[in-house]
């Protein structure tokens, strides 16, 4: 998925002290909370009444700055009074340079633009794109525009500083419906990844095995007993290994270079051993890292818990100084490789030409040998999915439209839909015809509803939403599992929330989101589903729900990289989190997983970062200057 971006803001807390004359213009800085409350009453009321769906930001267009908002009515209410205004604090990254001993905590962080007020703002507001409005609020100097730069917003009431908002950027991914799958031989799901390494396809008669293999200290050999379950599984099945994903972890003592070298050797030795079982080359993905996450988690509540306050190099120094022997019972658990094997059923027709394969398929149909016809059909699907033959081959598969061939018909239609969702309406109509032949077939009914939800979501056809909801619930009468029905109902409410949002029916939208939040735990989510649902929550201004959804995933050693970084994007602006030792463990895991991506978090918003103003946080600044400062 290609990431997009969502701009959010934080209102910073004020300190009441004397302000220097720099860039003051006519802005009044309240000397007490009481004075601020008195002068900012209208501003506070406007923000209190602001629906959470209303968003605003400052955008750069050349040297010009614009304040953008998605709700004109709220904008006019905010700036109704002539003393209600706005000014932009233009901040450059050199304010946070690592060469500076400490960052001064000033109310104005950079250069303030001339404030604009009331009627000037209301008259200057213009439509800008779909459901968006903007007003010109200032210019960037030729010197500033050459630097990493960001824009904070000062909201004024009676010309008093009422709110100071820092803008940050949340990396966003296109959210989608949760994958409902389609019934072929069994329920078949998409193989979409958060970051696809190859083009998307779908799982056809595949299964996944997961194993953990421990290693001894400073050795790349493994015990035969630890890999015996893998060997036994391969001997007892009709599958071969399509791909292996290996996450190899080293305990944290010793040099980073030696640890990474060991993990590469361990991973390669496993792949070489498994490759002896088959001729097809195994697609292999290997990642290696030091196991800081489990180390810091496992020393909590022990006499060694204080180590979590030290830098990585300081911890390594302590371990090298003799502490590693005392901590060996902990460290030995951290040397391991976690394997995920994707298996694919062996295909006895793999080398057969498409003409002969088609002939054999039709012969099996004529003989009513449905079992063999299904085997051949699966082989055809595999060839299409690997581009060995064209998808147009499906049209040559002439399956009689009779009840006894319903499974084959259903599979062909479901495969076509999985292959190309643009075929949704055609497949949907043909499934409705198939339903007439087999009115009580649960798999056909499930597939019809799954596609119907998609059609409704994208408005490809008029669908009665109440009738659709009843149709989803009725699937339980045909033996469809409650968890599958619950997943469909969550998708139903994801779509409803979007529709209510467009109508500005915020209360109804919130009820749909509450339903989603109450029910997603009743079924299993893939990593793709986790990120899609988290992005959905964020898009509709429910950042807290996104955080709650991902927090346990973020703590795990084998968390998907995109999930981890999305969680960081959601939370790293919260200073309460960065003071917590558990959160520091998550930060360290993120750095170990992808140090370049970690350092990029501290870029300017325009340069793909969250915000460089994170460096106002002493811990984050120390971490950045230690690891990222060139």
**Residues 129 and 152 reside in one and the same domain:** yes
**Residues 139 and 217 reside in one and the same domain:** no
For 306, half-sphere exposure in the C-beta direction (CA atoms, 13 angstrom radius) is 2
- 558-596 burial, b at 16+ Cβ within 10 Å, e below that, comes to ebbbbbbbbbbbbbbbeeebbeeeebbbbbbbbbbbeee
Question: Is residue 513 a part of any domain in this protein?
Answer: no
**What is the β-pairing status of strands 283-290 and 206-214?**
unpaired
Q: Do 335 and 214 meet the contact criterion of CB atoms below 8 Å apart? A: yes
Find how far residue 106's CA is from the centre of its chain.
35
What pLDDT score was predicted for residue 2?
Answer: 40
Question: Is residue 283 a part of any domain in this protein?
Answer: yes
Q: What is the tens place of the pLDDT at every residue in 562-594? A: 899 999 988 888 888 888 878 888 888 888 788
pLDDT average, residue stretch 224-251: 75
**Residues 141 and 189 reside in one and the same domain:** no
**Residues 142 and 164 reside in one and the same domain:** yes
**Residues 168 and 190 reside in one and the same domain:** no
Instruction: Compare 473 and 557 and report the one with higher pLDDT.
Output: 473
- 106 Cβ contact partners less than 8 Å away, ≥ 6 residues apart: none
**Residues 147 and 191 reside in one and the same domain:** no
What pLDDT score was predicted for residue 4?
Answer: 45
Which of 26-35, 250-259, 367-376, 527-536 is the least confident region?
Answer: 250-259
Question: Is residue 262 a part of any domain in this protein?
Answer: yes
Cα–Cα distance between 341 and 343 in angstroms, integer? Answer: 6
Which of 78-92, 233-247, 358-372, 378-392 is the least confident region?
Answer: 233-247
**Tokens representing residue 204 in the block:** 């056809």
Question: Is residue 230 a part of any domain in this protein?
Answer: yes
**Residues 67 and 18 reside in one and the same domain:** yes
**Residues 164 and 191 reside in one and the same domain:** no
Question: Is residue 449 a part of any domain in this protein?
Answer: no
What CATH number does residue 228 fall under?
3.30.1330.60
**Residues 106 and 241 reside in one and the same domain:** no
- Packing angle of the helix pair 581-593, 561-571 (nearest 10 deg): 140
Number of domains in the chain: 2
Q: Does the structure show a pLDDT above 60 at 19?
A: no
The neighbouring-strand residues paired with 111 are 90
Cα–Cα distance between 602 and 600 in angstroms, integer? Answer: 5
Q: Do 87 and 115 meet the contact criterion of CB atoms below 8 Å apart? A: yes
Instruction: Compare 579 and 225 and report the one with higher pLDDT.
Output: 579
Q: What is the tens place of the pLDDT at every residue in 453-488? A: 999 999 999 999 999 999 999 999 999 999 999 999
Q: What is the tens place of the pLDDT at every residue in 116-173? A: 999 999 999 999 988 899 999 999 999 999 999 999 999 999 999 999 988 777 666 6
Domain, as residue range, for 40: 4-172
Average pLDDT value over all residues in the chain: 86
Place of tokens 């000014």: 87
What pLDDT score was predicted for residue 560?
Answer: 86
Q: Does the pTM exceed 0.75?
A: yes
pLDDT average, residue stretch 75-101: 92
Question: Among 112, 139, 172, which residue terminates a domain?
Answer: 172
φ and ψ at 583, to 5 degrees? -70, -35
pLDDT band at 559 (very low <50, low <70, confident <90, very high): confident
Question: Is residue 15 a part of any domain in this protein?
Answer: yes
**Residues 211 and 340 reside in one and the same domain:** yes
pLDDT average, residue stretch 285-292: 83
What pLDDT score was predicted for residue 593?
Answer: 82
**Residues 152 and 243 reside in one and the same domain:** no
Place of tokens 């989190």: 577
CB atoms within 10 A of CB 318: 17
**Residues 209 and 139 reside in one and the same domain:** no
Q: Does the structure show a pLDDT above 70 at 3?
A: no
Question: Is residue 155 a part of any domain in this protein?
Answer: yes
Question: Among 172, 205, 225, which residue terminates a domain?
Answer: 172
Which of 73-87, 110-124, 250-264, 349-363 is the least confident region?
Answer: 250-264
Q: Does the structure show a pLDDT above 90 at 376?
A: yes
- 580 Cβ contact partners less than 8 Å away, ≥ 6 residues apart: none
What letter does residue 564 receive in the DSSP assignment? H
Cα–Cα distance between 570 and 568 in angstroms, integer? Answer: 5
For 145, half-sphere exposure in the C-beta direction (CA atoms, 13 angstrom radius) is 10
Q: What is the largest CA-CA distance in the chain?
A: 93
**Tokens representing residue 297 in the block:** 């988690």
Written as one string, the DSSP assignment of 341-377 is EEEEE--TTTTS-HHHHHHHHHHHHHTT-HHHHHHHH
């Amino acid at each position: 998925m290609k990431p997009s971006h969502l701009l959010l803001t934080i209102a910073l807390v004020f300190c009441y002290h004397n302000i220097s004359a720099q860039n003051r213009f006519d802005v009044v800085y309240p000397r007490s909370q009481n004075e601020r409350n008195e002068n900012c009453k209208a501003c506070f009321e406007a923000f209190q009444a602001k629906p959470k769906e209303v968003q605003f930001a400052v955008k750069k267009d050349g040297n010009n700055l614009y304040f953008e908002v998605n709700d004109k009515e709220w904008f006019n209410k905010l700036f109704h009074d002539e003393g209600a205004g706005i000014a932009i604090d233009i901040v450059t990254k050199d304010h946070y340079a690592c060469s500076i001993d400490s960052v001064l905590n000033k109310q104005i962080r950079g250069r303030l633009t001339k404030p604009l007020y009331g009627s000037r703002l209301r008259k200057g507001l213009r439509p800008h794109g779909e459901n968006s409005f903007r007003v010109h609020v200032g210019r960037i100097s030729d010197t500033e525009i050459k630097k990493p730069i960001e824009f904070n917003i000062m909201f004024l009431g009676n010309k008093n500083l009422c709110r100071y908002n820092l803008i940050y950027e949340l990396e966003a991914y296109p959210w989608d419906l949760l994958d409902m799958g389609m019934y072929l031989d069994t329920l078949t799901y998409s193989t979409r990844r958060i970051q696809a390494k190859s083009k998307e396809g779908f799982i056809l008669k595949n299964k996944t095995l997961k194993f953990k293999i421990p290693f001894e200290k400073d050795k790349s050999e493994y015990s035969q007993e630890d890999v015996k379950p893998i060997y036994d599984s391969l001997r007892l099945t009709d599958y071969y290994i399509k791909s292996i994903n290996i996450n190899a972890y080293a305990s944290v003592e010793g040099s980073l270079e030696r640890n990474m070298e060991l993990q590469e050797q361990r991973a390669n030795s496993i792949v070489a051993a498994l490759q002896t079982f088959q001729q097809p080359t195994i697609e292999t993905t290997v990642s290696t890292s030091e196991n800081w996450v489990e180390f810091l988690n496992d020393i909590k509540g022990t006499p060694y818990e204080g180590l979590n306050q030290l830098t990585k190099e300081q911890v390594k120094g302590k371990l090298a100084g003799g502490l590693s022997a005392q901590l060996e019972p902990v460290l030995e658990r951290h040397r391991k490789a976690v394997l995920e094997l994707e298996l694919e059923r062996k295909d006895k027709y793999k080398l057969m030409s498409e003409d002969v394969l088609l002939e054999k398929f039709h012969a099996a149909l004529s003989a009513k040998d449905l079992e063999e016809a299904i085997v051949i059909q699966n082989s055809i699907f595999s060839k299409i999915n690997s581009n060995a033959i064209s998808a147009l081959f499906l049209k040559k598969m002439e399956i009689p439209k009779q009840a006894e061939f319903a499974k084959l018909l259903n599979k062909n239609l479901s495969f076509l839909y999985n292959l190309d969702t643009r075929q949704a309406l055609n497949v949907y109509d043909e499934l409705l015809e198939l339903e007439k032949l087999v009115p009580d077939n649960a798999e056909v009914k499930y597939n019809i509803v799954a596609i119907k939800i998609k059609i409704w979501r994208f408005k490809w056809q008029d669908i009665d939403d109440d009738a659709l909801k009843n149709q989803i619930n009725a699937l339980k009468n045909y033996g469809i599992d409650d968890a599958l029905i619950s997943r469909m109902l969550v998708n139903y409410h994801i779509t409803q929330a979007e529709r209510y949002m467009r109508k500005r029916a915020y209360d109804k939208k919130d009820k749909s989101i509450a339903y989603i939040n109450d029910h997603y735990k009743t079924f299993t989510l893939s990593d793709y589903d986790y990120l899609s649902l988290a992005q959905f929550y964020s898009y509709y201004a429910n950042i807290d729900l996104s955080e709650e959804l991902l927090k346990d995933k973020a703590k795990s050693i084998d968390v998907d990289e995109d999930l981890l970084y999305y969680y960081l994007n959601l939370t790293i602006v919260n200073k309460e989190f960065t003071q917590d030792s558990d959160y520091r463990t998550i930060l360290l895991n993120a750095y170990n997983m992808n140090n370049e991506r970690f350092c990029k978090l501290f870029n300017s918003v325009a340069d793909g970062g969250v915000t460089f103003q994170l460096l106002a946080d002493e811990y984050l600044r120390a971490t950045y200057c230690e690891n990222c400062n060139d």
